[in-house]
């Protein structure tokens, strides 16, 4: 293949990828797998820190820093795994209110991300008292969203 043609094809492919709305090409089972995966990462990061704050789980500062970084890295994805058109994905506990009350959903996601970032900052600094202090707001943010937007 001619070099210029190759370059043109590569450029048009990149342009197509860049202009496609996020996840537009995802199949329903991929949407659900990613959604569940994101929340599994959140749970497996926050859960141990919540246990630590409750005195039920032993963790050292290095591990807490890893978990905090992981939580705050993936937290922004939580709002991205409910794309338009995925309202009726089979096997999901997502309530229709996610799409019918987008401002409320977004506000609760933002509150979660803010709380997660605060927890991650304390974790990164090795401030274990700060971690303990920051855990409840993250838990409340999880619950606030689940109460309104997740089926039991
Ligand atoms: C967790 C977890 C949740 C939240 C929620 C907080 O560790 O898996 O869904 O905390 O229970 O209320």
The predicted structure's pLDDT at residue 23: 46
Stretch 88-107: mean pLDDT? 97
Claim: this prediction has a pTM higher than 0.85:
no
Q: Where are the beta strands (DSSP E) in 33-114?
A: none
Asked if residue 47 has its Cβ within 6 Å of ligand 1, the reply is: yes
Ligand 1 center from residue 107 Cα (angstroms): 18
Joined together, the tokens standing for residue 145 give 């969203």
Q: What pLDDT does 11 receive? A: 59
CA-to-CA distance for 118 and 121, rounded, in angstroms?
5
Instruction: Kindly tell me the sign of the dihedral angle through the C-alpha atoms of 40, 140, 80, 74.
Output: negative
Listed by start position, the domains of the chain span: 2-84+91-149
**Topology (CATH) of 2-84+91-149:** 1.20.120
Give the residue, out of 49, 115, 139, 147, with the most ligand 1 atoms within 8 A of its beta carbon, to mutate for a pocket test: 139
More confident residue, 97 or 19: 97
Residue 151 to residue 92: CA distance in whole angstroms: 9
The per-residue pLDDT of the chain, averaged, comes to 91
Query: Is there a contact between 47 and 68 (Cβ–Cβ < 8 Å)?
Result: no
pLDDT tens-digit readout, 21-80: 554 578 999 999 999 999 999 999 999 999 999 999 999 999 999 999 999 999 999 999
pLDDT tens by residue, 137-150: 999 999 999 999 99
Q: Is 139 in the pocket of ligand 1 (CB under 6 A)?
A: yes
125 pLDDT more than 50:
yes
42 lines ligand 1 (CB under 6 A): no
Instruction: State mean pLDDT over 76-94.
Output: 95
């Amino acid at each position: 293949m001619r070099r210029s043609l190759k370059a043109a094809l590569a450029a048009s492919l990149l342009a197509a990828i860049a202009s496609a709305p996020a996840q537009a090409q995802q199949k329903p089972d991929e949407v659900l797998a990613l959604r569940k995966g994101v929340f599994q990462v959140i749970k497996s990061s926050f859960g141990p820190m919540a246990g630590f704050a409750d005195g039920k789980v032993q963790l050292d500062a290095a591990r807490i820093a890893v978990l905090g970084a992981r939580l705050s890295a993936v937290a922004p994805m939580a709002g991205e795994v409910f794309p338009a058109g995925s309202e009726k994905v089979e096997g999901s506990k997502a309530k229709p209110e996610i799409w019918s009350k987008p401002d409320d959903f977004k506000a609760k996601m933002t509150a979660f991300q803010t709380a997660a970032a605060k927890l991650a900052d304390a974790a990164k600094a090795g401030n274990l008292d700060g971690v303990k202090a920051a855990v409840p707001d993250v838990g409340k943010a999880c619950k606030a969203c689940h109460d309104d937007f997740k089926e039991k």
